[in-house]
Each structure stands twice: as structure tokens, then as C-alpha cells.
Chains A and B, each alone.
Chain A
Amino acid sequence: MTDAAIGELRAGREPELLSHAMECEPCREALSHAMRVRELVERGVESLVEGEPSPQFVAHLRRHIAQGPRPVEFYWARWALVAPGALALALLLILVIGRMPRYNGPSPITSRLKPSPSSPGVAAAPDATRLNARASVSGRASESLPHAHKATAGLPHIIVPEGQLIAAARLSEAINSGRVDGTQLVVTQRDADKPLEVNPIEITPLDPPPTPDDEEKPAASTEF
């Protein structure tokens, strides 16, 4: 009966319900009531949505469209969003690349230290021959420093005293990477040819030994 009231009676059930209602007075009344409810519900809701927009509706709409901003084409809007980001990224890249240290060939010190047949390794280690302990930077140093070989690849061999190989390799790496200015080293090397000047060192005298009176007093620093 409820299904009949809302117009959702299953197919084939309607004749069955009607034939029963013909014989049964209460069911006939209930069905009649249900049908009235159904009709009222349908008619009621339909009456609520009946109507047409005014004839000026479209004209008003066109006027509003003309007055308001035009719709932004999504293709252009998308590019308008992406473009500033791309520009900012490009600028950032330029700044980062500009700040990166550059290596433009061998540094002044390494070019100066090129080995010559007459004095091999003298520039880097003047006393190397005297110590008779020579080694190759690109040879043994690369064993102790994993990246030393990479750093010194393609550079001339420099002979240095034993025990200074790692230091020499690090110096070479620093020069190659631009962290150390080679020209300053050359200047320092020139200064090294001058005789050493000995400056007297001024030594501050130690505190006098503690007197017996002082020993009686407990040291402030030992108190906790």
C-alpha cells in the first residue's frame, strides 16, 4: 500500500492490489487515500517548480556578462601561473652558477712548478735531493687519499720529501679547486729565499711559588 502511495508499486502487483481492494472495504479506502497522497505529492512538487524566467532574463544576463570581466582562458591562465616560477628558477640557477668556483687550467703555482730536466722538483722541495726520499704525488699520495688521483690527474709530477706527500696532495687539490690563490704562494716562495730573521720571544715569568700561608687556604677552584 505504501509503494502504491508513492507510485513505486512493483510491476504486476497493481492488478493484484486492485482486485483485492474491490473485495475489501478497509483496503479500498486505504488505497484510495494512498492514491490521493501520491497525486498530491506529485502535483504539489510540480506546482512548486512550474514557471518560466521573465522574458528579460537573457537580456539581463547578456548585460551582466558584458559588464563583468571576461572569462580568462585557462591555457593562458596556466602559463601566467607557471611563467613567474620558471623565471625565478632561471634567475636562481644563474646566481648559483655565477657563485660556483671555476678552474681555468693549471694554477700559477703548478705552471711554475713544471718539472725541468735540469732541476726536477727543486721548486717544490729544495731539500728533496738532500734527503734522498723522493716520491711521486700522483703515485703514493693517491693511495692514501681516495680523490687525490682525480685531483692530480693530468698534472706534472712533483717530487716532495717523504712524509709531506699528503700535505702536498692537499695543497695541489686546494690550488686546483681555487680555494688557495696560487699567486700568493709564489710570493711566499720568493720570500722564502731571504735569510730567516730571528725575533726574540718574550716569555712571561711564571707566578712565584706559593708561601706556607697560601697553602693553608683552600684553593677556590677546588671547591665545588
Chain B
Amino acid sequence: MDALAASLSKSAVSHDESLEREFEQRLADCPKLAYRVALGVLHNAAEAEDVAQEAMLRAYRSFNRLRERERFRAWLVRLTFRLALDRVRSKGRRERHERAAMEERCETSIEHLVTSREFERQVARALDELPEKLRIVMVLAAIEGYNTREVANLAGLPEGTVKSRLFLARKKLAESLQCLVKNIPVG
């Protein structure tokens, strides 16, 4: 009986060690991916790092429950995206006030729109207005120039769906940024 318990605990320890090693390998590239996904939603470096930390921590704690370890990156992307969206929702009224102020500036002071910082804000606002399913493919496509197949793998969607969603997302973004483009000098 003692021998059985000892062998079981030994196998459990070795299993834990192998899990630790496997997770350690993921630590090489996955934090960057999680951080960028969070940044694409939150547009704030500190908050994005917080969310990426949380996502990685949750991923570690649930790592042994993941059946397909090769799908870890896709799993992490979706987890991070969800956590980032939750963070955005919890921001509440303060965020809405800031947006309203930004929209007002868009209509009144055109010269501000040409500056790079303002432009970034406008793109962020336009991106935030996209539906979630379009936003995630747009963010993933922008991260290190992932192609449609890679985005499909990460988002867990068929390639055709990714293509159509990218099309729609770009179209909506282009519509949102029309006023901005008109005021940018050609060349």
C-alpha cells in the first residue's frame, strides 16, 4: 500500500514537473501576444500589462486542464480578449465621458485630428466601436502582420469567416475614419 502511494505521488510529482516545464516553454513568446491583444482592446500599456499578467496566471492555473496543448496560444488569445473586454466594461462612466469629449473635438477642431496622438485616439475609438467578433480578428491581423490563416488559428474560426470579418471590420473602420482622412494632406 505504501509502495503504491509512493509510486503514485512520485508519478504526480513528475507529472507536475513536466507541466511546469511545458508552461515554462510558453513563457518565452506568449506574454507578448497576450500583452498586444490586451493593448488592442484597452489602449493603455499599464492596464494591458495587468490584464496580460492575469491571463497568463489563469492560463498557468488551468494549464493541466487544457487537452490540446498546441492550441494554447489560441486559448490564451481568447482568454486575454475576454479579460480585456471585462476591464473595459468595468471602467464605466468615466470612459464614456472621455469619449464624448473626444467626439466633440473631432467635430470642432480639425487641426487636432492631424496630429499623431489625436489620430491614434480616433483609430482606437473606431476600433472600440466595432463588434467584438470583428474587433478580435482586426487586432490579431494587426499583430505582427498575421495572415488570414494564422488569425483563423488563433481565433478558432474558419478562414472564410476570418476573411469576411476582416473585410467588414476594415470597411467599418474606413467609414469611421472618413472625416480624419479628408483632412490629411496627400503624400
B78 contacts the other chain (CB 8 A):
no
Q: Closest residue to A67 on the B side, CB-wise?
A: B57
For residue B112, which residues in chain A have a CB less than 8 angstroms away from its CB? Answer: none
Contact A45 B61 (CB under 8 A): no
| Given A8-B170, A54-B49, A73-B16: A48 and B124 interface contact (C-beta under 8 Å) | yes
A216 in the interface, Cβ–Cβ < 8 Å?
A: no
Q: In whole Å, how far is B124's beta carbon from the nearest beta carbon of chain A?
A: 6
Instruction: Give which listed residue, B49, B63, B145, B177, contacts A37 with CB less than 8 A.
Output: B177
- Quick check: A8 and B64 within 8 Å, CB to CB? no
Residue B79 at the A interface, CB < 8 A? no
**Per-position contact with A for B119-159: 1 when CB-CB < 8 Å, else 0?**
11011101100000000001101110100000000000000
Contact A51 B39 (CB under 8 A): yes
Q: How large is the interface on B (under 10, 10 to 19, 20 to 34, 35 or more residues)?
A: 35 or more
Q: How far is the CA of A17 from the CA of B186 in the complex (A)?
A: 20
User: Are the C-beta atoms of A71 and B57 separated by less than 8 Å?
Assistant: no
B117 to chain A, nearest CB (A): 11
Segment from B30-38, B90-98, B100-108 that makes contact with A: B30-38
B39, A8: Cβ atoms under 8 Å?
Answer: no
CA distance A57 to B35 in the complex (A): 10
Dominant secondary structure at the B interface? helix
Residues of A with C-beta under 8 A to B57 = 61, 64-65, 68
Picked from B31, B143, B167, the residue with its CB within 8 Å of the CB of A49 is B143
- CB neighbours (8 Å) of A68 from chain B are 57, 61
Interface residue ranges of A93-133 to B (CB < 8 Å): none
* Interface SS of chain A: helix
Closest A residue by C-beta to B37: A49
A40 and B184: CB pair below 8 A? Answer: yes
Select from chain A the residue with minimum beta-carbon distance to B48.
A51
Query: B64 and A48: CB pair below 8 A?
Result: no
B-side contacts of A76, CB under 8 Å: 12
Per the CB 8 Å criterion, the residue count for chain A at the interface is 39
User: B27 at interface (Cβ–Cβ under 8 A)?
Assistant: yes
A48→B43 contact, CB < 8 A: yes
Check if B170 sits within 8 Å of A51, measured CB to CB: no
Q: Does A177 contact B (CB under 8 A)?
A: no
Partner of A51, one of B36, B124, B139: B36
Q: Which of B12, B39, B163 has the most CB of A within 10 A?
A: B39
For the complex, what is the distance from the CA of A38 to the CA of B126, rounded to whole Å?
A: 14
B63 in complex: contacting residue of A2, A5, A8, A71, CB < 8 Å? A71
Closest B residue to A56 using CB positions: B49
Q: Mark B145-187, 1 if CB is under 8 A from A, else 0.
A: 1000000000000000001001100110110011011001010
Contacts of B126 in A (CB 8 A): 44
B124-A41 in contact (CB<8A): no
Given contacts A37-B178, A49-B139, contact A58 B27 (CB under 8 A): yes
A6 touches B52 (CB 8 A): no
Interface residues of A (CB under 8 A from B): 2, 5-8, 32-33, 36-38, 40-42, 44-54, 57-58, 60-61, 64-65, 68-76
6 A-B contact pairs sorted by A residue (CB < 8 Å): A8-B166, A44-B177, A45-B127, A51-B48, A61-B57, A65-B57
